[in-house]
A and B are shown apart, each in its own frame.
Chain A
Amino acid sequence: MKKTLLALLVTAGAAQANAMSYEFDVTLKGYDGDATSSVAYSGQIARHALHNSLKKVVSQGDQTRMLMYLSGKEEGRIILDPASKEGFAIKQSQVDELSKGKDLLSSAYDGVITGWPGNPTAQELLQQWVELAANSKQGYDPVNGYDYTQLISKFAMGAVFYNKAVNHYLEEKLEADQHPNNEAYKEGVPYTGKEHVWDEAFGYFGAPAHGLELTPNEVVQITKQNPEYFAKADANGDGVVDLKSEMAFAHAYYAASIDASSDTTYFHTIMQAFVDGRQLISKANGERLTDEQRGELKGYAATIATAWQQVIAEAAFKYAGSVYADLEKIAIIEEAHGDVSKAFRDYVKHWGELKGFALSLEAAGRDLGKAQASLDRLIGFSPVLFGDMQVAAYDGKGGFVQTNAGIMQEYKLNMIKVQNLLAQHFDLKAKLKDKTGGMSAVLEQINTAGKSAEND
Chain B
Amino acid sequence: MLENIVAWLGDELAFAGSSLLDTSKRVSVWYLASALLFAGALLTIRYGRQGWLRLQPYLSWRVWFHRSARTDYALWLVNRLLLALLIPKALTQAVWISWLYFYWQEHGFRDLQLGWSTSVVMVLFTLCYFLIDDFSRFFVHWCMHKSPWLWVFHQVHHSAKVLTPFTVFRTHPVEGLLFFLRSMVSQSFVISVFLVAFPNQVSLWQIYGVLVTTFLFNVFGANLRHSGVALSYGPRIEKWLISPAQHQIHHSVARHHYDRNFGVVLAIWDRLFGSWHAGHDDQAIRFGTQKAIDDMGMIGQWSQPFKDIQRLLRDRIKHRQMWLKQFSQKNAPHD
Query: Which B-chain residue is minimally distant from A456 (CB atoms)?
Result: B264
Is A150 in the interface zone, CB < 8 Å from B? no
Is B184 in the interface zone, CB < 8 Å from A? yes
With the chains together, A445 CA to B125 CA distance in Å? 13
Residues A437 and B199 in contact, CB atoms below 8 Å apart: yes
Residues B184 and A451 in contact, CB atoms below 8 Å apart: yes
With the chains together, A454 CA to B214 CA distance in Å? 14
Is A436 in the interface zone, CB < 8 Å from B? yes
With the chains together, A424 CA to B24 CA distance in Å? 21
Chain B interface, >50% SS class: helix
Is B98 in the interface zone, CB < 8 Å from A? yes
Residues A442 and B102 in contact, CB atoms below 8 Å apart: no
Is B304 in the interface zone, CB < 8 Å from A? no
Which residues of A lie under 8 Å from residue B94 when comparing CB positions?
417, 420-421, 424, 439, 443
Stretch at the interface among B45-53, B203-211, B291-299, B326-334: B203-211
Residues B195 and A449 in contact, CB atoms below 8 Å apart: no
Residues B102 and A449 in contact, CB atoms below 8 Å apart: no
With the chains together, A357 CA to B13 CA distance in Å? 40
Residues A445 and B203 in contact, CB atoms below 8 Å apart: yes
Which residues of B lie under 8 Å from residue A448 when comparing CB positions?
24, 209
Is B137 in the interface zone, CB < 8 Å from A? yes
With the chains together, A47 CA to B140 CA distance in Å? 63
Is B29 in the interface zone, CB < 8 Å from A? no
Which residues of B lie under 8 Å from residue A4 when comparing CB positions?
none
Residues 125-161 of chain B: 1 if any A CB is under 8 Å from the residue's CB, otherwise 0?
A: 0000000000001001100000000000000000000
Residues A436 and B179 in contact, CB atoms below 8 Å apart: no
Residues B179 and A442 in contact, CB atoms below 8 Å apart: no
Q: Which of A419-434 contact B (CB under 8 A)?
A: 420-421, 424, 434
B101, B102, B106, B201 pick with most chain A CB within 10 angstroms: B102
Which residues of B lie under 8 Å from residue A450 when comparing CB positions?
24-25
Is A5 in the interface zone, CB < 8 Å from B? no
Residues A446 and B101 in contact, CB atoms below 8 Å apart: no
Given contacts A409-B106, A436-B195, A443-B93, A454 and B101 within 8 Å (CB-CB): no
Is A36 in the interface zone, CB < 8 Å from B? no
Minimum CB–CB distance from B246 to chain A (whole Å) comes to: 11
Is A8 in the interface zone, CB < 8 Å from B? no
Stretch at the interface among B169-177, B230-238, B277-285: B169-177
Is A413 in the interface zone, CB < 8 Å from B? yes
Given contacts A434-B200, A439-B97, A455 and B24 within 8 Å (CB-CB): no
Residues B214 and A449 in contact, CB atoms below 8 Å apart: yes
Which residues of A lie under 8 Å from residue B177 when comparing CB positions?
453
Residues B200 and A449 in contact, CB atoms below 8 Å apart: no
With the chains together, A451 CA to B179 CA distance in Å? 10
Q: Among A424, A436, A437, A456, point to the contact of B137 (Cβ < 8 A).
A: A456
Residues A453 and B204 in contact, CB atoms below 8 Å apart: no
Residues B204 and A442 in contact, CB atoms below 8 Å apart: yes
Residues A417 and B95 in contact, CB atoms below 8 Å apart: yes
Q: Among B98, B182, B183, B225, point to the contact of A417 (Cβ < 8 A).
A: B98
Which residues of B lie under 8 Å from residue A413 when comparing CB positions?
98-99, 102
Chain A residues within 8 Å of chain B by Cβ, number:
29
Residues B195 and A439 in contact, CB atoms below 8 Å apart: yes
Given contacts A446-B191, A451-B183, A456 and B168 within 8 Å (CB-CB): yes
Minimum CB–CB distance from B116 to chain A (whole Å) comes to: 15
Which residues of B lie under 8 Å from residue A410 when comparing CB positions?
102
Minimum CB–CB distance from A143 to chain B (whole Å) comes to: 27
With the chains together, A434 CA to B195 CA distance in Å? 12
Given contacts A438-B195, A439-B195, A455 and B200 within 8 Å (CB-CB): no
Query: Which B-chain residue is minimally distant from A407 (CB atoms)?
Result: B106
Is A416 in the interface zone, CB < 8 Å from B? yes
Which residues of B lie under 8 Å from residue A449 when comparing CB positions?
24, 204, 206, 209-211, 214
Which residues of A lie under 8 Å from residue B182 when comparing CB positions?
455
With the chains together, A420 CA to B140 CA distance in Å? 30
Is A452 in the interface zone, CB < 8 Å from B? yes
Is B180 in the interface zone, CB < 8 Å from A? yes
Residues 176-199 of chain B: 1 if any A CB is under 8 Å from the residue's CB, otherwise 0?
A: 110110111001000100011011
Is B245 in the interface zone, CB < 8 Å from A? no
Is A441 in the interface zone, CB < 8 Å from B? yes
Residues A438 and B199 in contact, CB atoms below 8 Å apart: yes
B179, B206, B210, B211 pick with most chain A CB within 10 angstroms: B179
Query: Which B-chain residue is minimally distant from A370 (CB atoms)?
Result: B89
Is B83 in the interface zone, CB < 8 Å from A? yes
Is B247 in the interface zone, CB < 8 Å from A? yes
Is B202 in the interface zone, CB < 8 Å from A? yes
Q: Among A416, A421, A442, A453, point to the contact of B180 (Cβ < 8 A).
A: A453
Is A268 in the interface zone, CB < 8 Å from B? no
Which residues of B lie under 8 Å from residue A409 when comparing CB positions?
106
With the chains together, A434 CA to B141 CA distance in Å? 38
Is A412 in the interface zone, CB < 8 Å from B? yes
Which residues of B lie under 8 Å from residue A439 when comparing CB positions?
94, 97-98, 101, 191, 195
A413, A416, A456 pick with most chain B CB within 10 angstroms: A456
Query: Which B-chain residue is minimally distant from A431 (CB atoms)?
Result: B200
Query: Which B-chain residue is minimally distant from A443 (CB atoms)?
Result: B94
In the A-B complex, the 10 residue pairs with the closest CB atoms: A437-B199, A437-B195, A438-B200, A413-B102, A453-B176, A453-B180, A416-B98, A456-B264, A445-B204, A455-B179
Q: Beyond the given A438-B195, A452-B179, A455-B137, please list 10 additional residue pairs across the A-B interface where CB-CB is below 8 A.
A: A416-B101, A417-B95, A420-B98, A448-B209, A449-B204, A451-B93, A452-B180, A453-B87, A455-B264, A456-B225
16 contacts between A and B (CB under 8 A): A413-B99, A417-B95, A421-B94, A434-B199, A438-B200, A439-B94, A441-B203, A443-B93, A443-B94, A446-B93, A448-B209, A449-B206, A449-B211, A452-B180, A453-B183, A454-B171
Chain A residues in the interface with B (C-beta under 8 A): 409-410, 412-413, 416-417, 420-421, 424, 434, 436-439, 441-443, 445-456
